Structure 1
Amino acid sequence: MKLGEALAARAEATRRIEQLRARIVDNARYQEGEAPSENAADLLGEAEEACAELESLIRRINRTNSVTRLGDGTITDALARRDGLRLRHSVITDAADAAAGRRDRRGGARQLRSELMFLAALPVADLRAQADRIAREIRAVDVAIQRSNWEVDLLD
């Protein structure tokens, strides 16, 4: 099984567990004189099995990511890099939006001469250019990760 297939299976297992959780909650109590539509205990058993399978899959994915070389490091290093870049991108984008007045309906404009004018404390154009550079880097790291996901075999 390729790493990419395991990642898809992990996502499917997570969805299945969430569906089972909802069904368990819906059937955990029922009104006297009526039967629940499903057996909550059976559903709980299914959820336990699905959780165990998910845990095993996550262990194998993490083991594979931590030993598989990608660029100067491992896939785990690349995932951490991508997460860090995404966080930096969101901070810089939020800063640029705030400086541009996107969070404030007034946007720096004033209706009367007596109203105070709001000025940007940060260079919006520079921040936007920096955010664009980081977004390109995120895409490059993500492409490398995705490529390796379909080239690398999942470890046991």
Structure 2
Amino acid sequence: MKLGEALAERAEAARRVEQLRTRINGSARYQEGELPPEDAAVLLTELDQILDHLESLIRRINRTNAAVPVDDLGTLTDALARRDILRLRHAAITAAADAAAGSGRGHVTRQLRSELKMLAGLPVAELRERADRLAGELRQLEVQIQRTNWEADLLD
């Protein structure tokens, strides 16, 4: 099985767990004299089986991520950490540029000439360029990660 297939299977298992939790909660209590919509005990057994499978899958994915190299970035785990930081950095730089430009939530323009003028405390154009470079780097990294996911075999 390829890592990409395991990731898709993990996502499906996580969705299934949430569905079962909702169904269990809806069937855990019922009014006297009526039947519950479903047998909560049966649903709990199914949930346990899916969670056991999910745990095994997550362990194998993590082992694979820690072992598989990604170009010059180190392991897939290293690439995922880099991606997370790039996303955070891009969001922070974009928010800073928006705030300095006066766009975004809570921005109020001057109504009268006598009101104080708001000035940018940061170089907006430079921040936008930096955000664009970060976005490009993030896109390139995403491609590398996705390629690796579909090329790497899942480890046991």
* Fold-level similarity (TM above 0.5): yes
Kindly report the root-mean-square deviation, in angstroms, between the aligned alpha carbons of the 2 structures. 1.0
Q: Secondary structure at the match of 1:69?
A: coil
Residues 1:84 and 2:72 are matched in the alignment: no
For 2:24 and 2:101, locate their aligned partners in 1 and report how far apart those are by CA, in whole Å: 48
In structure 1, the gaps of 5 or more residues are none
* Equivalent in the alignment of 1:44: 44
Letter in 2 for 1:86: R
Distance in 2 (alpha carbons) for counterparts of 1:50 and 1:58 = 12
Aligned position for 1:21: 21
1:112 aligns with 2:112: yes
Q: Which runs of 5+ in 2 are unaligned?
A: none
Partner of 1:155: 155
SS class of match (1:70): coil
> Hey, what's the Cα distance between the residues in 1 that align with 2:98 and 2:25?
41
Q: Is the 8 A contact 1:100 1:124 kept in 2?
A: yes
The superposition leaves residues 60-110 of structure 1 with CA deviations (integer Å, 9 ceiling, x where unpaired) of 00101101111220111100000110010011111111111122331xx31
Measured in 2, the distance between the counterparts of 1:118 and 1:43 equals 59
Give me the whole-angstrom Cα distance separating, in 1, the residues matched to 2:101 and 2:36.
Answer: 55
| Cα displacement (A) at 1:49 | 1.0
Give the drift of 1:16.
0.3
- Aligned residue type for 1:75: L
- Which AA in structure 1 matches 2:23? R
How does the TM-score come out when normalised to structure 1? 0.95
Give the counterpart letter for 1:144 in structure 2.
Answer: Q
Percent of aligned pairs with the same residue? 68
Q: Give the equivalent residue in structure 1 for 2:99.
A: 98
Amino acid at match of 1:139: R
